[in-house]
Amino acid sequence: MLQGIRVVEFEGLGPGPFAAMMLADLGAEVIVIHRPGAGNPVAGGTNLLDRGKKSIVLNLKLPADLTIAKALISTADALIEGFRPGVMERLGLGPDEMQHENPKLVYGRMTGWGQDGPKSRMAGHDLNYLATSGALWYASEAASPPLTPPTLLGDVGGGALYLVAGILAGLLKAARTGVGTVVDAAIVDGSAHMMALLMSMAPSGNLLKERGKSLLDGPHWSRTYACACGGYLSVQCLEPRFYAEFLHRLNLGEDPVFASQNDPAQWPEQTRALAEILAAEPLVYWAEIFENSDACAAPVLAPQEAGRDPHMAARKVWSTKDGLLQPAPAPRFDGHDQSPGPVPERGQHGDDLRAGLARMALI
C-alpha cells in the first residue's frame, strides 16, 4: 500500500519505532538510523519493532555521519523522531532546516507530553500520560487502583497510531500540494482524544465520574472472572439479547437474581453471585459452554496461547518467525502480501545506503 514511500526513523523507544514498523508493514521503505552500540536495553536482544526496516548506524555527534543523516532525510517522504523537544534542532535536523531542503517532507514528532506546554521537557512514561489525560480513570474495578495493559493504551493507542494517522494525512497533503507538514503526536493528546468514544455515553447518563458505576465498568456483565483453574473469562454481553444468551448458557434464564440487567443497585450482588458460579469450574469448561454463541464471553489468553485459538489460527494472527513470536501486520488489504519483513542486524544496510547517496551526489 505504501510502496515508493521512504521514511527515515531515528532510533528511539516505544511508540516511534512501533509507528515506523507499522509503516514498514504497510510497504514503506523505512530506514532506521541506529545509534552506535548494542541498542535499546529495554528491547533486549533482537528488536521486533525493527522488522521490515533497513538499518544504518550513525553517530550524530560526528560531522560526517550528520551529513549522511541529512542526505537521507533529503530523499525521504517522512521522518520519525521521538526525542525531547529541542534535541533535533540542536543537531541541525529540526523541521525548519529539513523542510527547507525537502519541502514535501512530513516531519513526524512523537513525544509523551507534546512539543510545548509546561511538561513538554519533562520525563514521563505510559501511565503518567494516561493519568494526566484522563484515559486511565476508568481502568480497573472500583475498589482497585487504575491499571492498563502496559504500553497498549498510551504508547501504541494514543501515541504510535496517532503518529501513523498524522503521517498518512501529511503524505496525502504533500502529494496534493508538494508541501510537507510537522506532525506533533503527543500521547496525552491521543489518549484524551480516544476518550471521545467513552464520553459519547455521558449525555445518556451512562458515564459517571465515580468508577464502577457506569455502563461498561460497573455491571456484572462487563468484567473478567476467575475460574477454578486460575484462568480468566471475559464477559461483556451489553445488548439485552446477548445478555439473555449468556444467562441461557448458564441455565440462569429464570433466576430472579439476574433478571434485571441494568439496575446499578443490584450489580454488586449479581457480580458476587456470578463470580461464585464461574469460579466453580475451569476455564476450558466455560470455553466449551460459550463456544459458537453470541453470549459475548471469551477466555483471556496470553499471546503464546492466542496463536492456538481456532479463530486466531485461521486468520494467522500469531506466528513465530526468525525465532520471534510476533503478530501479523494489520489492517489487511485484498490482493496484497503482508508478510512481515525480517529484523535487520544493526547497520546491516549501511554500505548500500551510503553507496546510493554517493551515486546521487548527496555525500
Residue 77, classed as helix, strand or coil, is coil
| Alpha helices (H) along 150-186 | 161-177
Cis peptide before 331 (omega within 30 of 0): yes
Closest CA to 82 of 136, 135, 9: 9
Burial of 243 (0-12, 13-18, 19+ CB in 10 A): buried
- Active-site residues, by number, are 125, 155
Residues in contact with 240: Cβ distance below 8 Å, sequence separation at least 6, in sequence order: 261
| Cell of residue 161, nine digits | 497510531
Which residue type, as a one-letter code, is found at position 43?
A: A
Q: List, in sequence order, every residue forming a beta bridge with 33; answer none if it has no partner.
A: 10, 56
204-213: long-range contacts, CB 8 A cutoff, minimum separation 24? 210/142, 211/137, 211/138, 211/140, 211/141, 211/142, 211/146, 212/141, 212/142, 212/143, 213/142, 213/264
